[in-house]
Chains A and B, each alone.
Chain A
Amino acid sequence: MNEMVITREQREARLEGMGCKRKRVEDVRFTQGRGNYVDDIKMPNMVHGDFVRSQYAHAKIVKIDASKAKALPGVIAVLTAEDLKPLGLHWMPTLAGDVQAVLADGKVCFQNQEIAFVVAENRYITDDAIQLIEVEYEELPVVVDPFQSMAPDAPVLRPDLDGKMTGAHGPRKHHNHIFEWTIGDQSATDLAFETADVTVKEMLSYHRTHPSPLETCQCLASFDKIKGELTVYGTFQAPHVIRTVASLLSKIPEHKIHVIAPDIGGGFGNKVGAYAGYICSIVATIVTGVPVKWVEDRMENLSTTSFARDYHMTTEIAATKDGKVTGLRVHVLADHGAFDACADPSKWPAGFMNIVTGSYDFPTAHLAVDGVYTNKAPGGVAYRCSFRVTEAAYCIERGMDILAQKLGMDPADLRLKNFIRREQFPYQSALGWEYDSGDYHTAMNKAMEAISYRALRAEQKAKQEAFRRGETREIMGIGVSFFTEIVGAGPSKNCDILGVAMFDSAEIRIHPTGSIIARMGSKSQGQGHETTWAQIIATELGIPADDIMIEEGNTDTAPYGLGTYGSRSTPVAGAAIAMAARKIKNKAQMIAAHLLEVSEYDLEWDIDGFRVKGNPERSKTMKEIAWASYNSPPPGLEPGLEAVNYYDPPNMTYPFGAYFCVMDIDVDTGVAKIRRFYALDDCGTRINPMIIEGQVHGGLTEAFAIAMGQEIKYDELGNVVGASFMDFFIPTAVETPHWETDHTVTPSPHHPIGAKGVGESPNVGGVPAFSNAVNDAFGFLGSTHIQMPHDAWRVWEAAKKLGVHA
């Protein structure tokens, strides 16, 4: 009888469905050290591989002498490009339509490039053997600065492309040029600038950095010669794509390749691509017949696999004298390193950089991107952002501040004046996107009120006067950032990776007792899918989330999907989950009608089951329906209760947010203290507010790191400097500011549950908020733009240039 007194609210709460701050179920194992990561997996007879890497950024390889290494007891094999050549595996295709040397083929093009792969009985012997391999180099001139890469006399970095004046994305202008990508109406934009009251122009550099997940890239490959089957455990954000690529390269049929991504310790874009370590481990296991493990160390991770950013954006905005924007013109010089291994959808060599018009109603715009080769590591991944979206957001958000300064307008007011208005959605942007939904004014006004924006400006003014009077050596900056993201790649009409359309998938199976196993084509690296995917199903099907098990990452069992990056999981896989659940619900309704002896149309959904309209006492719970589906289905209806959905999204989703940073800078040391950081996010329907908050905290911490000092730096010889955690800035709890989070909810009109994705918004919106705060602090002293990263010494240099130390 207890069942009868349970209220509807209690029934709903019991599900822990969408909107519930459900605790992360995966944390039970993670916080007890019981996760199962690649390096935890050990196989009988397993051996270890690692690389001999280039000392130089650009050199011919005259000779590789591995004789001493091969003579060392415990060494099993040493692979070089010569060994891979007969297999056709010494070069591999990149996601961007270029090729990349798996092992250096006669020459190296960046420091730490892979030259030889040593396989030995244990990691100690592997490393001993690496020390014994002698590589003779002939140094070549180096190109580090992308602005020098297309000089007429610049050295040829890629002789393998000699004479190929057309690349994967059209004509090449120079031997170190990769592509030019343009979009927008150039003549209309030029005209807007010719007739503008006010224009601004600034070269905004977004420096090279790295996603640096806690767990580096690694894999364990095992080839069974008897069955002809290959098993690869790896740190793969997109395991299915890795399986397809492995099959195409190795010629092993796809069904005989088992790719498994176990627990992953962070990805942030680092684990999307295919790396030499994977290929060499696979070749080595085929050659040696024993399982081969490859584990990157920290320096290898930071200096070889997948840098991010390195975009140099000449940004121009045209406006009327009262601050209405009339045109945007951006030219990007994109440093892609030695090989174009950007992880973008194949038709988008500059990612979705054309979201650069941001949240503003630009009547016209033009964007041109030139990709160039340099002697730096390849990569160009989307580090906690959708493809090049954080670069775009930085570009427009700095640009708007620079325009506000020129106009003498408040930067928040300038944004309010130029926002796309709520009634303009769906909005067609000047650079080709259809923004699905938004309510920017509401979000901005809420944020400004929450932080008492006008009062902060008044305080800043008083502090500036005190500084001028010599009463303080501290200046105050208020960073404003209003970003629009574009996530959820993506519709097959414009998104694919090497021809594989960017759908995603879910398979849901209800067991007879009403519990569920569900598998997806996405792959959590810490996002909490085991928690949130169950919440979507719980709400859709009325089964408690605790009775739902989520599995991802095993390509043998999970439906084919394109994986997790670019905030695509909720927009794409999340939609597939809802759609698969709805298929089940439709069948469940037929079964319930049969059980209740009414027509399907007489039933309505009620939290955890169906009830008869007008007679709510007569009902069947989903659990009862599940049992019946197997054991007493309606005549003629197939038994069982399961469904699969492959979801091809009709459009991207467009999360947005308003971020404010309040900063105090000590001009004598350049040290910046974050006094306050407020982040309002609108990611549409909120599946788990606690996970959203965690995502925002993590993304803001990375944004803080990037803006305030995190950098992959090269010296003039192409030596990568600071590629260890001694120098590479990972904030600890001590440095990390306190985050204030807030939200508005504007559901996506085309997504089945209205969700938009959130994991990457804080990185996209956060970086300009920090940078704008530093720039805002110095604006009253006559500065227009200070390049990132804003670590103490660079801030001090900026202060010095403005004469404040005199």
Chain B
Amino acid sequence: MIPGQFVYHRPASIAEAVAVLAAHGDEARPLSGGHSLIPMMKLRMATPEHLVDLAGISELKGISQQGQTIVIGAMTTQADLIKSDLLASALPIIRETSLQIADPQIRTKGTIGGNVANGDPGNDMPGLMQCLGATYHLSGASGERTVAARDFYQGAYFTSLDVGEILTSISIPVPPAGHGYAYEKLKRKIGDYATAATAVILTMADGKVATCSIALTNVSSTPLFAEEAAQLCLGTSLDAATLKAAGEAAKSISDPAADGRGTAEYRREMAGVVTARALAKAASRAMKGA
């Protein structure tokens, strides 16, 4: 549990960070909150020779609203997300999810950018970002580009992020006022990754689901955007049969690994259970909000 040698860099701007990363290519890794990378380095499963700490780049921090879009800087910590009044009113699901990540100590260090960019299927934010239809802003030696969260994840720890690129911010369309939401996470204990988790955003009109978006966490090598499950809910009152069907649809795209949280079969079943429960909770919140 002792890391090998590395050179520590602390750039002050995105441009400087990109330059350092470009100079060292594969040998360099950006460091945000460090709660995934540093344990991997201590286990010597990650052995970067250059560690580029993004903590000194102030332009990577902060939450702002630009019209109907909320922009969150990559180095914004989960604790900051929880504290934000703007998010609490416009995107309460972010607060609800953040509160289920790790524990208070880790949330003070862990960042949203690190959480979504690392490609760890256990992380909670990638699924949520897919549910919300978020866009990632990337910056590298060859310039800036954007990638939709729904297109970003290719496999465990394998994303669209190129070598030398850093994720600088996330923009999220604000869902309509009165929307229903829920992040339902089944986990063994505080600090654990999800056995299965589901994010739901929906709107209701006349007691029926008008719009619905669902994404699943940690039941595959990537987060899963559960399009079919969401489709099944549209126009329904989320009666028991619909909830069951949506749960089945979520299960059908899940492909979890067996681990300490349970067998693959159990974890797949739980994807269905938490999806149905998230839908029911989101609907009840939408009805209350209406």
Contacts and interface: CB of A to CB of B under 8 A. Distances in A.
A, B in one complex: yes
Interface of A: 123-124, 126-128, 131, 297-299, 668-671, 709, 713, 721-722, 726-727, 729, 731-732, 734-735, 791-793, 796-797, 805
B256 to A, nearest CB: 11
Nearest to A131: B44
B195 A792 contact: yes
12 contacts: A127-B2, A127-B4, A128-B4, A128-B5, A670-B266, A671-B186, A709-B188, A713-B260, A734-B190, A735-B189, A792-B186, A797-B266
Given A669-B270, A722-B260, A727-B260, A124 B5 contact: yes
B217 to A, nearest CB: 16
A764 to B, nearest CB: 24
A298 B189 contact: no
Among B1, B103, B186, the most chain A Cβ lie within 10 Å of the Cβ of B1
Contact of B266 (A127, A298, A709, A796): A796
Contacts of A127: 2, 4, 44
Given A123-B2, A668-B273, A792-B195, A732 B261 contact: no
Contacts of A727: 259-260
Question: On chain B, which size bracket covers the interface?
Answer: 20 to 34
Nearest to A794: B262
Contacts of A668: 273
A732 B190 contact: yes
Contacts of B259: 727
Interface string B173-197: 0000000000000101111100100
Contacts of B188: 709, 729, 791-792
A717 to B, nearest CB: 15
Interface in B140-176: none
B189 A734 contact: yes
A126 B263 CA distance: 38
Among B2, B103, B195, the most chain A Cβ lie within 10 Å of the Cβ of B2
Given A127-B4, A793-B261, 14 more contacts: A123-B2, A124-B4, A128-B4, A131-B4, A131-B44, A727-B259, A735-B189, A735-B190, A792-B262, A793-B195, A793-B263, A793-B266, A796-B266, A796-B269
A669 B190 contact: no
Interface in B210-267: 259-263, 266-267
A432 B129 CA distance: 66
Interface in B254-290: 259-263, 266-267, 269-270, 273
Contacts of B1: 297-299
B112 to A, nearest CB: 22
A726 B188 CA distance: 10
- A-B pairs, top 9 by smallest CB distance, nearest first, are A793-B262, A127-B2, A727-B260, A297-B1, A793-B266, A734-B190, A732-B190, A722-B260, A735-B189
B262 A126 contact: no
A792 B267 CA distance: 11
Contacts of A805: 269
A787 B206 CA distance: 49
A669 B273 contact: yes
Nearest to B272: A668
Nearest to A730: B189
Contacts of B103: 732
A703 to B, nearest CB: 16
A713 B259 CA distance: 11
A732 B5 contact: no
Nearest to B274: A669
A47 to B, nearest CB: 14
B182 to A, nearest CB: 16
B2 A126 contact: yes
A417 B134 CA distance: 66
A124 B44 CA distance: 12
A124 B2 contact: yes
B216 to A, nearest CB: 16
Interface in B5-32: 5
A124 B262 CA distance: 36
A732 B102 CA distance: 12
Nearest to A48: B2
Nearest to A670: B266
B5 A729 contact: no
A24 to B, nearest CB: 25
A732 B191 contact: yes
Contacts of B5: 124, 128
Nearest to A722: B260
A704 B273 CA distance: 26
Contact of B186 (A128, A669, A729): A669
A288 B3 CA distance: 26
A124 B4 CA distance: 7
A736 to B, nearest CB: 10
A721 B260 contact: yes
Nearest to B276: A668
B208 to A, nearest CB: 26
Nearest to A709: B188
Nearest to B189: A735
Contacts of A126: 2
A124 B270 CA distance: 43
A21 B103 CA distance: 33
B180 to A, nearest CB: 22
A796 B262 contact: yes
A669 B260 CA distance: 15
A668 B263 CA distance: 15
Contacts of A734: 189-190
A229 to B, nearest CB: 31
Contacts of A709: 188
B121 to A, nearest CB: 14
A131 B269 CA distance: 41
Contacts of B267: 793
A275 to B, nearest CB: 18
Among A127, A722, A735, the most chain B Cβ lie within 10 Å of the Cβ of A127
Contacts of A791: 188, 262
B108 to A, nearest CB: 16
A593 to B, nearest CB: 63
A409 to B, nearest CB: 34
A328 to B, nearest CB: 35
B126 to A, nearest CB: 19
Contacts of B192: 726
B280 to A, nearest CB: 13
A731 B191 CA distance: 10
Contact of B189 (A128, A713, A732, A793): A732
B264 to A, nearest CB: 10
A611 B280 CA distance: 77
Nearest to B191: A732
A127 to B, nearest CB: 4
A131 B44 CA distance: 9
A302 to B, nearest CB: 12
A721 B258 CA distance: 12
A297 B43 CA distance: 11
A566 to B, nearest CB: 29
Nearest to A705: B189
A721 B1 CA distance: 17
B20 to A, nearest CB: 23
Contacts of A124: 2-5
Contacts of B190: 732, 734-735
A729 B2 contact: no
Contacts of B263: 793, 797
A332 to B, nearest CB: 27
A84 B183 CA distance: 58
Contacts of A731: 189
A298 B269 CA distance: 33
A343 B5 CA distance: 40
A128 B41 CA distance: 12
B289 to A, nearest CB: 27
Contacts of B191: 732
B195 to A, nearest CB: 7
Contacts of A128: 4-5
Contacts of B44: 127, 131
Contacts of B270: 669
